[in-house]
Structure 1
Amino acid sequence: MVESEIADRIAARRAELDELEVQLVRQLDQVRAERDELAVAERVWKRMAEQLVAEQNAASPAAVQVVGRAVLLVPHRTARRRRGRAAAGLPADPGDRAGRRRTGGGQAGRQAAGDRQNLHGPSHQ
């Protein structure tokens, strides 16, 4: 009788441990999933922080020392900015008067625009 009682206790404890093992495996899976989510969130946060720093650096002019005085550097025009001017119908070089004539700017362009809008104000030539 003592042996069967000990065997029953061992079997009961083994069943409790098996149930606990299932619960711990479930918890471990949840912890691993949350860690993966945190790793993704951390990568996104770092990428956004890097972009923000890059944008702030691009937006703020750089100051340098010239002959002992602090001066701000003027950024060079980039190809993207020039394309933006061309897309807006503006010449790449603001001094390009022939480009303005080609795009309809100047007095003739203003007169034509006024004619299209039925505005017949004084014409300055």
Structure 2
Amino acid sequence: MAWTKAHEELFKKINQEMDDYARSMWDLRGYAVYGKANEIAAMEFCYNQLAGKLHDYSVKELEPLLKQEKPLEFLSRHWTSEQTIDLGAEFDQIFRSSNRQEECEQQKPGPSMA
């Protein structure tokens, strides 16, 4: 698709938003940043996807995002709410898998990691 004024405007908007967001994370203490790891990952993912594929979207598709004060935050919240993977169930499946049990039995104790 052709790069339009709308594409340029949204590109500038998301770059500024991501810069502001990153700066706000730098201002937090380490433990606070750690607590926001999922949020940071979602913001980065949405930014990378949108910035990398912006030219694939029509002006009509971009218009709702242009109306948002913080389009990345808007996308990130929706992205996060749409994730339906039950990580607890995934962990349990891996934890209980027979392959993992066999690997644990075959490993010899090594030097302490302490």
TM range (shorter): under 0.3
- TM-score with structure 2 length normalisation? 0.23
- Name whichever structure is richer in strand by fraction: 1
- Name whichever structure is richer in helix by fraction: 2
Tell me which structure has the larger Cα radius of gyration: 1
